[in-house]
């Protein structure tokens, strides 16, 4: 069935017996129109079931009243909190949100081009693999804020979370519980957040007079599956450990699964700490001790900054805290606790492999 053509201001003008310019003035309230003509236009619009196009009206004013949000993974609960904060803050300012996402730098470039082609007034970019130079160039053309990623040369456009300090607190907590052999499931090398969290891990160990052997560091890509693989690599190192600090809750969840398949209990055998305080972290088994990262607040702050800069105001981005959330995945070290003899490894790799194939 052919779609019905939308009603235009010309249809309304014909029915109200006024000029199209008069209809435009009524809807845009640009100049005064007599009450009689205004009533005729509104009555004609109602009779024709006319729905104004807000985007077209906004563009006519020079602004789209739309902010673009570029994400690497729209289904992640981590990014979901950022979306919620951005959306709520925009709604309060009568702005619209346009979200685009893709995996990999080529897909992200296409998603970015899509947002720009839709005339967004400003951009918020979360994570991703796009080269800094692309976003830095764009930041010279429109207000832009980067979240959980680098932006070399435009630090004023990047949200700062004390990743190093948060990681330091997490590892210090494990040390205070008596753990001296602490492994690390890190994020991708070269990612600023991952590097800062790794540095916090190392600093906490060294400040306590403990070693930080490279064999107890295994890296993932932030996601749960990589947490399983990275934890298996820790077992393969042959080094003893009784606790693990994961640079993201998603990877901590993968670590817990790998430990479960090895017949190990958290926290009786191994203590686990994550980072991000995702929504599931307080409701998994056991509830996860983690470092908080207020993504909804970050989203709201990003909106306040880009809209202020759109108005020509220089509103700096705040620095957020990264508090430690103590839950039940960590416990005091007991003598003899930690990674057991290899006798429990038989069959574990097969179970882990089967679990990964299901994802």
pLDDT band for position 323 (50/70/90)? very high
Q: What are the tokens at 20?
A: 């199209």
**Which tens digits make up the pLDDT trace of 186-206?**
999 999 999 999 999 999 999
Q: 200 in helix, strand or coil?
A: helix
> What's residue 227's pLDDT?
97
> What's residue 62's pLDDT?
54
First to last CA, the chain: 41
> What's residue 52's pLDDT?
64
Can you give the pTM of this predicted structure? 0.79
Which residue would you say has higher pLDDT here, 212 or 358? 212
- Mean pLDDT (the chain, rounded): 87
**Which tens digits make up the pLDDT trace of 253-308?**
999 999 999 999 999 999 999 999 999 999 999 999 999 999 999 999 999 999 99
> What's residue 346's pLDDT?
40
Say if residue 343's pLDDT is above 80: no
Half-sphere exposure of 327 (CA within 13 A, CB side): 22
> What's residue 341's pLDDT?
45
Tell me what the mean pLDDT of segment 171-186 comes to: 97
> What's residue 29's pLDDT?
63
List, in order, residues 6 or more apart from 350 with CB less than 8 Å away.
none
Q: How far apart are CA 80 and CA 191, in angstroms?
A: 21
For residue 272, list its beta bridge partners.
Answer: 244
Tell me what the mean pLDDT of segment 320-332 comes to: 96
> What's residue 53's pLDDT?
59
SS3 content of the chain, % helix, strand, coil (to 5): 45, 15, 40
Domains of the chain in start order, with CATH, are: 9-52 (1.10.260.40), 66-158+296-310 (3.40.50.2300), 163-288+327-357 (3.40.50.2300)
Determine which of 85-99, 145-159, 344-358 has the lowest per-residue pLDDT on average. 344-358
Determine which of 26-40, 89-103, 180-194, 337-351 has the lowest per-residue pLDDT on average. 337-351
Tell me what the mean pLDDT of segment 221-235 comes to: 95
pLDDT band for position 356 (50/70/90)? low
Q: Sign (positive/negative) of CA torsion 38, 41, 46, 52? A: negative
> What's residue 344's pLDDT?
44
Which residue would you say has higher pLDDT here, 19 or 169? 169
**Which tens digits make up the pLDDT trace of 26-60?**
776 656 778 888 888 888 888 888 776 555 554 44
Candidates 55, 34, 122, 39; CA nearest to 307 is 122
Buried residues in 303-330 as b, exposed as e (16+ CB within 10 A): bbbbbebeeeeeeebeebebebbebebb
Ramachandran category for residue 219: left, alpha or beta (phi over 0 → left; psi -120 to 50 → alpha)? beta
- Under 8 Å between Cβ of 185 and 274: no
Tell me what the mean pLDDT of segment 230-240 comes to: 94
């Amino acid at each position: 069935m052919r779609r019905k053509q939308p009603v235009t201001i010309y249809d309304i003008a014909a029915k109200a017996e006024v000029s199209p310019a008069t209809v435009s003035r009524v809807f845009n309230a640009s100049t005064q129109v007599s009450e009689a003509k205004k009533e005729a236009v509104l009555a004609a619009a109602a009779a024709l079931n006319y729905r104004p196009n807000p985007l077209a009206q906004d563009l006519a004013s020079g602004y789209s009243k739309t902010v673009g949000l570029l994400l690497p993974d729209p289904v992640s609960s981590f990014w979901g909190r950022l979306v919620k904060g951005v959306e709520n803050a925009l709604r309060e300012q009568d702005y619209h949100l346009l979200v685009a996402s893709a995996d990999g730098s080529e897909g992200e470039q296409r998603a970015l081009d899509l947002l720009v082609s839709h005339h967004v007034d400003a951009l918020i970019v979360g994570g991703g693999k796009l080269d800094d130079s692309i976003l830095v160039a764009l930041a010279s053309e429109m207000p832009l804020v980067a979240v959980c990623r680098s932006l070399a040369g435009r630090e004023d456009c990047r949200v700062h979370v004390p990743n190093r300090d948060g990681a330091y607190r997490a590892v210090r907590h494990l040390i205070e519980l008596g753990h001296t052999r602490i492994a690390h499931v890190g994020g991708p090398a070269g990612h600023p957040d991952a590097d800062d969290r790794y540095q916090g891990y190392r600093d906490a160990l060294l400040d306590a007079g403990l070693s930080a052997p490279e064999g107890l560091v295994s890296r993932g890509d932030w996601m749960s599956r990589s947490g399983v693989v990275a934890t298996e690599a820790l077992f393969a190192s042959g080094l003893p450990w009784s606790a693990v600090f994961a640079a993201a809750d998603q990877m901590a969840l993968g670590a817990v699964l790998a430990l479960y398949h090895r017949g190990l209990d958290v926290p009786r055998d191994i203590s686990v700490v994550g980072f991000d305080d995702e929504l599931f972290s307080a409701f998994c088994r056991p509830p996860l001790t983690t470092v908080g990262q207020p993504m909804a607040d970050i989203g709201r702050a990003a909106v306040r900054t880009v809209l202020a800069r759109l108005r020509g105001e220089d509103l700096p981005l705040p620095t957020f805290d990264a508090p430690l959330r103590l839950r039940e995945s960590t416990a005091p070290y007991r003598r003899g606790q930690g990674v057991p003899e290899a006798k429990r490894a038989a069959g574990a790799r097969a179970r882990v492999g089967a679990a990964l194939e299901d994802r």
